[in-house]
A and B are shown apart, each in its own frame.
Chain A
Amino acid sequence: MESAISIFLEGRNLARLMEGVWITLKISAASVLLSVVFGLLVGLLMISRKPALQAATRFYLEAIRVMPILVLLYMFYYLPDKNWGLHFEAQTVAIGVFTLWGTAEMADLVRGALTSMPAHQRESGRAIGLTEGQVNRYIIIPQAVRRLIPGVINLTTRMIKTTPFIYFISVPELLKVGQQIVEISGMKNNMASFWVYGFIFFLYFLMCYPISCFSAYLEKKWQN
């Protein structure tokens, strides 16, 4: 235990891990927010009856789904500079790529939530004289949002857990900082990887657990 504490107390190790946490949180928070906004918009397009829109959104969703995150990072960080001399900041690319992915996932969740609403609800609403807008506002959207929450929470925690991939575009997020520390401490202390990764596990837990709690709270609150 003493050897474990000494790893974290040496130099700026603890502060560096916290900087890693900050990068992870910053990139996932920005990506989730943008994904929710764009996902809602794209999700609405997905349920459009226009074949062209349906095809386009379908293509977008499937294209993003089959592509590993590393490939997307490569495509948006290295390729533009290689071919057209366009440089984007690594963290901007990270947020962009995660948003592209998150938007696709989110849009599909929105599509699912909206199309899972039984048709008779809309028809009943219209039958009692509500306008199309009122039906959406008072009947469809409130229920769709509740159905969305678990999916959004799941997407958020997955995003947090996918951030380590951005080491590939030279961003030192939490896991990379951990590896740097393990590599210099690990030569002397063969328990270093256990303690450092254990601590990182705990940090990821601290980032993800409150989100799960919040989700549980919302679900409980809306049950009544």
Chain B
Amino acid sequence: MLKIDNLHAKLEDEDKQILKGVNLEVPAGQVHAIMGPNGSGKSTLSYVLSGRDGYEVTEGSASLNGDDLLALEPEERAAAGLFLAFQYPVEIPGVGNLTFLRTAVNAQRKARGEEELSAAEFLKVVREKAKSLDIDAEMLKRPVNVGFSGGEKKRNEILQMAMLEPKMCIMDETDSGLDVDAMRLVAKGVNALRAPDRSFLVITHYQRLLDHIQPDVVHIMADGRIIRTGGPELALEVEKNGYADILAAEVG
């Protein structure tokens, strides 16, 4: 599914290297978590993979099912099946949530040479999926994320994910700013989307999200590289002892 090989990246207008050789492979159907201290490059990795401006890849490669991600525009990466759930979902006043969703779904279908969904078909699907995420009709009508609570914004991200049916979902600190109930709801939405042909890369600071979205593999990232990889128990170790021991072991 996702294959990252020796990925190096820096900020375009600064000479500071942020990713210093990331190697990572997420097979189809698996959930991988990336944990790591602040400034380790987790969010940068998600931005570089999804094609945000301002970063320059200096070395290495990243591919999704064989497609060279780094050669594609952000919208092409999306059409190829990549989805990034934002840590801070963006507010778009004046653009209705439904309009936005339908534009996105149909743009991707068009890019893949599929037929666009009619308004009626789209509404039927979106209502169904919104319901399971506890998103009411009112929220669907409102402008994208405007006036949404933190929890509503994150649920809206998951709704987009559910509608767009990506193959590879990257979740950038989706748990930040969520209370326990909101986190459960988000996790439920994500778990409902787990499928043999869909993979997840869950970026988080804390183990608690991983109680609800259980990972197959946990990676620890520090200073722009993956320094350790293990099973779910690695997340528990971090929760108990912090990153200090792992970092020390790596340096040692």
Q: Do A and B come from one complex?
A: no
The chain A residues found within 8 Å of chain B, CB to CB, are none
